[in-house]
Amino acid sequence: MSTLTAALCRELEQLLNEECALNQLYRSVVREERDNFRKFQHEGVLRLCEQRGEIARRMGEIQERRVAIMYTVAGETLPAKHFKPGKLSELVAKHASPQQAAILLPLIRKLREEIQSTRRESLEFGQIATFTLALVNGLLSNIWSATQNVVKTYTARGQKNEAYHPQSSRQSSVIKRV
């Protein structure tokens, strides 16, 4: 059974601090993106979406490094199919000295809170974006159907409905008569 060395403890502490900071940055970008979304600022939304993707990529890299440390501390090689690293807090409690645990456990709790807050805000923004897109798509569908003579729609059960919108012929319009 391996123990958490001082070098691994420092690296883990650095990774936890960096991941907490990235979660805070991610939430601020989501808030700014939501504000741009409300104001219909397309360029701002695209820029912030790319920035959010880059932050998520960096968080993924940190998580991979953290999991690699967990495998190292547990004495396993990466990837071990039979080994699941479990919770970081349990691993720290089991393999770290009391001094190391006193440093790492509060950071782990802080990261857990940051991640929960990030997930909550991201879910809320995703729901707003989905609702808005569905609303816009519905309006576009109504506008399109108003321009067609016959509109065919399908119900959830696959039944076809046809609606007829009478229109005058193009030849009988006022401009064509003149």
Q: 42 is written with which tokens?
A: 């397309």
Alpha helices (runs of H) in 75-97, residue ranges in sequence order: 88-95
- Is the entire prediction scored with pTM above 0.95? no
151 to 82, 135, 137, 143: CA distances (angstroms): 57, 19, 16, 11
Q: How high is the pLDDT of residue 11?
A: 93
Q: 72 is written with which tokens?
A: 């190292």
Instruction: With cut-offs at 50, 70 and 90, classify the pLDDT of residue 80.
Output: low
Looking at the domain assignment, is residue 52 inside a domain? yes
**pLDDT of 136-163, one tens digit each?**
888 887 777 667 666 677 787 888 887 7
106: preceding bond cis by omega (within 30 degrees): no
**pLDDT of 98-131, one tens digit each?**
898 899 999 999 999 999 999 999 999 888 888 8
Instruction: With cut-offs at 50, 70 and 90, classify the pLDDT of residue 14.
Output: very high
Looking at the domain assignment, is residue 105 inside a domain? yes
Looking at the domain assignment, is residue 161 inside a domain? no
Looking at the domain assignment, is residue 30 inside a domain? yes
156 to 126, 152, 159: CA distances (angstroms): 24, 13, 7
- Which is it for the CA torsion 22, 26, 32, 33, positive or negative? positive
Most confident residue range from 19-28, 82-91, 132-141: 19-28
Looking at the domain assignment, is residue 162 inside a domain? no
Which residue do the tokens 């691993």 mark? 91
Which residue do the tokens 């004495």 mark? 75
Looking at the domain assignment, is residue 53 inside a domain? yes
Q: 34 is written with which tokens?
A: 């939501």
Show Cβ contacts of residue 21 under 8 Å, excluding neighbours closer than 6 positions: none
The answer to whether residues 77 and 71 touch, using CB atoms and an 8 Å cutoff, is yes
Nearest residue to 78 (alpha-carbon basis) of 69, 86, 87: 69
Looking at the domain assignment, is residue 1 inside a domain? no
Query: What range does the domain containing 32 cover?
Result: 6-141
Q: How high is the pLDDT of residue 31?
A: 92
Which residue do the tokens 């950071």 mark? 107
Domain total of the chain: 1
DSSP output for 123-159 = HHHHHHHHHHHHHHHHHHHHHHHHT-SEEEEE-TTS-
